[in-house]
Amino acid sequence: MSQAALAEEAPYVRANIADKHTVLKDVFGYDRFRKGQEEIIDCLLDGTSVLAVMPTGAGKSLCFQVPALAMEGLTIVVSPLVALMQDQVSALRLAGVAADAIHSNQDRDANVAAWHRVAGGETRILYLAPERLMTERMLAAVEKLPVCLFAIDEAHCMSQWGPAFRPEYAALGELTRRFPNVPVAAMTATADEATRRDIELQLFNGNHRTFVSGFDRPNIKLNVSPKASWKQQLLDYVSERKGQSGIIYCLSRKKTEECAAALNANGINATAYHAGLERDERQARQNRFVTEDDLVVAATIAFGMGIDKPDVRYVFHTDLPGSVEAYYQEIGRAGRDGNPADAMMVFGPGDIRLRRQFIEQEDTQDVHKRREVARLNALVGYAEAQGCRRQTLLTYFGDASEPCGNCDNCVSPVELRDGAKEAEDVFGAIFETGERFGQAHIVDVLRGAETEKILKMRHDKLECHGSGSRYSKPEWQGIIRQMVSAGFLEVDIAGYSSLLITQKGNALSRGQGEFRYRADTLQPLKKRWSQQKGASAFGAAQPVDDLSSQDRELLAQLKKKRLDLAKERGVPAFVIFPDKTLADMAQRRPTSIEEFAEVKGVGKSKLEQFAEIFIAVVINNG
């Protein structure tokens, strides 16, 4: 029966036609689900909508792809970038799944042909951009089809509280009203509590569940260094990782070109990527990145969101990003294969000034500017963190962590000062002003300033006014940021960016606990930099798989064959097989179809397409 005929009988079909474990094994080649996946899948199979916050690399796509193939009907996936759609469609087709995408990079004939396959019931999963799906014409056409699931990728783009808000995403709230019986899977790796609440309010009309699997990416080593000579710092860092794939994030197009030129001049295979390049040139450089194992790309934030390359070994920020969310998302492009990876950022006072100028120059409302300043302050607090960086990063997203032992502060602890008196002064100023004001006003009160706002509020009459005149404005800003990152204060981002005293802060004010802060945050720490250069934090990442030298030689040949196949098909290499599958192949050394079927990540379709090809490589290198 065609989908059109099914639609007349039951517009929204959720009957299970396959067991989830069968789909997982036969299509994707895995024996078991990863932690956090199965409960999400079960909810969707039961018809319950889901908001899932999962760290990058945790397998978000499988959470909606498995239900899509275990249910009868069409699944529509909303995706923000053409590159992401193309990669996922290519991967699904190689796995034997009838998948399509309709987007602006295809000519009209290709899009029309794709729609005919959808309307004719051939397509199981369709990828669309939000602005294309949410037209009245498209929605009317979709209403005639037996849609069983909507999946929204990068769902944080819906939220007005988030720094990555996209107006075209806001319209997606209409889906649950227009298709009340169709479950929605909203997926993201980047959503703090305020953003999650906003997504829930906009998107879900009734029954839904929210899953927060945690934000930790423990395989990524976190490092921050004061900016001295950024270009030399970059060259030193990348030279120690020659032959590895990496991304260098820069604030300007000119700087990306400068970085790429400097790296190439020092024997590093590098290129630049930014929005100023012609579309064909951008595509060519992007294709180089996903197919060349050792290419380093110096890029603006225009690069990376749609790139699902699993073996990026490091991300280096030459400039301060705009928020913790942006930083988290950008470093999340490293180590998606689960192997050790590295994140390095250099920053200085100039970065903070420049970011604040950008915010002031935005043509937005004051409330938005206040939120962006609060987000920037949170990121600077992370950069100035006195203790474990992973704890600071996860605390921002409401996630708890023990000291990680895998960041520069854990490897080489910084010298701290007792901040009991400083904390007392800050608490006093916040309490006396009614917990209604942001950092800038609190600092002005502490320093005894007589601004128009202070005089109007009569805060010059408070006991706390001038109690912190011994420190400069930047020093107080640094202390307050560290109090936020340590959990003694929090910023009401969804409100007016007011500083609020937390339960932990109240305990500290009663003498329970201690606050210690670093006063050297923006000084060039040459000694610490030289220590870290030789430490494991900056060592080359080693694969998790325990491969022998013979296995590694075979792995190299398997990668070479994979690259040849990828070029023939015009797809990224990891779409053929991810590195973990090739590593398992190198260890198992399959010489028969039956043995090849046991390799992790080999489903039925890929078994038919690639078994004999890769078995020949194994035999020839035996």
In whole angstroms, give the CA distance from residue 390 to residue 525: 21
Contact call for residues 384 and 478 (beta carbons, < 8 A): yes
Higher pLDDT, 163 or 548: 548
Task: Tell whether the model's pLDDT for residue 368 goes beyond 80.
Answer: no
Least confident of 60-74, 106-120, 353-367: 353-367
What is the pLDDT confidence band of residue 538, given thresholds at 50, 70 and 90? very low
Task: Tell whether the model's pLDDT for residue 217 goes beyond 80.
Answer: yes
Q: How do beta strands 147-152 and 99-102 pair?
A: unpaired
Least confident of 4-8, 269-273, 313-317, 546-550: 4-8
Domains of the chain as residue ranges with CATH: 3-212 (3.40.50.300), 220-411 (3.40.50.300), 417-517 (1.10.10.10), 549-620 (1.10.150.80)
| Residue 16 confidence (pLDDT) | 53
| Residue 100 confidence (pLDDT) | 95
Largest interatomic CA distance in the chain: 85
Give the long-range contacts of residues 610-619, CB within 8 A, separation 24 or more. 610/565, 610/576, 610/577, 613/561, 613/565, 614/558, 614/561, 614/585, 614/590, 615/590, 615/591, 617/554, 617/557, 617/558, 617/561, 618/554, 618/558, 618/585, 618/589, 618/590, 618/591, 619/591
Exposed, middle or buried: residue 112 (CB in 10 Å: 0-12, 13-18, 19+)?
A: exposed
Per residue in 547-565, is it b (16+ CB within 10 Å) or e — as a string? Answer: eeeebeebbebbbebbbeb
| Residue 521 confidence (pLDDT) | 54
Look over the chain and give the mean of its residue pLDDT values, rounded to a whole number.
86
Count the neighbouring beta carbons within 10 Å of the beta carbon of residue 207: 11
Contact call for residues 62 and 37 (beta carbons, < 8 A): yes
Cα 437 to Cα 35, 72, 93, 376: the distances in Å are: 41, 54, 54, 17
- In this predicted model, what pLDDT tens digit does every residue of 493-536 receive, in sequence order? 666 678 999 999 999 999 999 998 877 654 433 344 444 443 33
How much of the chain exceeds pLDDT 90, in percent?
53
Which whole number is the average pLDDT over 22-44? 93
In whole angstroms, give the CA distance from residue 266 to residue 355: 30
| Residue 6 confidence (pLDDT) | 35
- In this predicted model, what pLDDT tens digit does every residue of 153-169 receive, in sequence order? 989 888 766 666 777 88
Task: Tell whether the model's pLDDT for residue 545 goes beyond 70.
Answer: no
Q: What is the pTM of this model?
A: 0.70
- In this predicted model, what pLDDT tens digit does every residue of 424-462 receive, in sequence order? 999 999 999 999 898 889 999 999 999 999 999 999 999
What is the pLDDT confidence band of residue 537, given thresholds at 50, 70 and 90? very low
| Residue 377 confidence (pLDDT) | 85
SS3 for 470?
Answer: coil
| E strand intervals along 307-398 | 314-317, 341-347
| Residue 161 confidence (pLDDT) | 65
Least confident of 98-102, 373-377, 459-463: 373-377
Higher pLDDT, 341 or 205: 341
- In this predicted model, what pLDDT tens digit does every residue of 57-88 receive, in sequence order? 778 899 999 999 999 999 999 998 887 788 88
| Residue 4 confidence (pLDDT) | 37
Sign of CA dihedral 434, 440, 444, 450: negative
**All residues at 6 or more sequence positions from 594 whose CB lies less than 8 Å from its CB, including other chains:** none
User: To which H or E segment does residue 77 belong?
Assistant: strand 74-78
